C-alpha cells in the first residue's frame, strides 16, 4: 500500500454555505491536516502485517524486538533468515543462515578477526587465551 500525497492545486479554502454545505472550519481543518504530510510515503504496508520502511529511527534510539522474534537478513538469493534473537530461555542467539559458510567477525576496517564455520571449527586472527574471568 502506498499513499498519495494531498496537494492543494487550487490553493483556496472552503467557504461556508457552498456546495455541499459543509462547515468551512471542518473542511479547512481536514485540508490543513492533509497538507502537513501526516504520513511518510517511504513507509508502506502489504496489509498482512508487514511494514516496509526505507529507514528506521525510534524515539528511544533503540530497536526492540519481543522475546523469540528475530532480526533477519536476506541471503544472496533473497530469502530472509533469522540471524539474531533472544530465545524463550532468555539466551542471546546468533544463528547462521541456511547454507551459510559460517559466522565472521570483522574489525572496523573490514578485516577478518574470527571465523566459525558451519561445522563449528574456529579460526582467529590473534591469540586465543582461555580465561574464566573477563
Cell numbers found for residue 12? 483556496
**Considering the entire predicted model, what is its pTM?**
0.52
Asked whether the beta carbons of 101 and 75 are under 8 A apart, the reply is no
> Is residue 45 classed as helix, strand or coil in its secondary structure?
strand
- Cα separations in angstroms, 85 against 62, 96, 97: 15, 12, 13
State the Cα angle at 43 between 39 and 47, rounded to 5°: 105
pLDDT at 119 exceeding the cut of 60: yes
For residues 53 and 42, the answer to whether their CB atoms sit within 8 Å is: yes
Element (H, E) at 102: strand 102-106
Top-confidence residue, 54 or 88: 88
Choose from 40-44, 78-82, 95-99 the range with maximum mean pLDDT.
78-82
Which of 45 and 120 is assigned the larger pLDDT?
120
**Nearest residue to 69 via CA among 80, 61, 58:** 80
**pLDDT digit string, tens, across residues 29-42:** 777 777 766 566 67
Give me the half-sphere count of Cα atoms (radius 13 Å) on the Cβ side of residue 21. Answer: 0
Q: Looking at residue 113, what is its pLDDT?
A: 93
Amino acid at each position: 500500500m502506498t499513499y498519495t500525497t494531498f496537494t492543494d492545486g487550487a490553493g483556496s479554502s472552503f467557504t461556508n454555505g457552498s456546495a455541499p454545505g459543509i462547515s468551512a472550519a471542518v473542511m479547512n481543518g481536514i485540508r490543513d491536516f492533509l497538507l502537513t504530510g501526516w504520513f511518510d510515503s517511504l513507509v508502506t504496508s502489504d496489509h498482512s502485517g508487514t511494514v516496509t520502511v526505507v529507514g528506521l529511527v525510534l524515539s528511544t534510539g533503540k530497536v526492540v524486538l519481543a522475546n523469540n522474534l528475530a532480526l533477519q537478513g536476506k541471503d544472496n538469493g533473497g530469502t530472509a533468515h533469522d540471524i539474531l534473537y533472544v530465545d524463550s530461555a532468555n539466551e542471546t542467539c546468533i544463528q547462521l543462515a541456511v547454507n551459510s559458510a559460517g559466522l565472521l567477525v570483522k574489525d572496523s576496517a573490514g578485516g577478518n578477526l574470527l571465523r566459525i564455520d558451519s561445522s563449528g571449527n574456529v579460526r582467529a586472527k590473534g591469540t586465543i587465551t582461555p580465561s574464566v574471568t573477563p
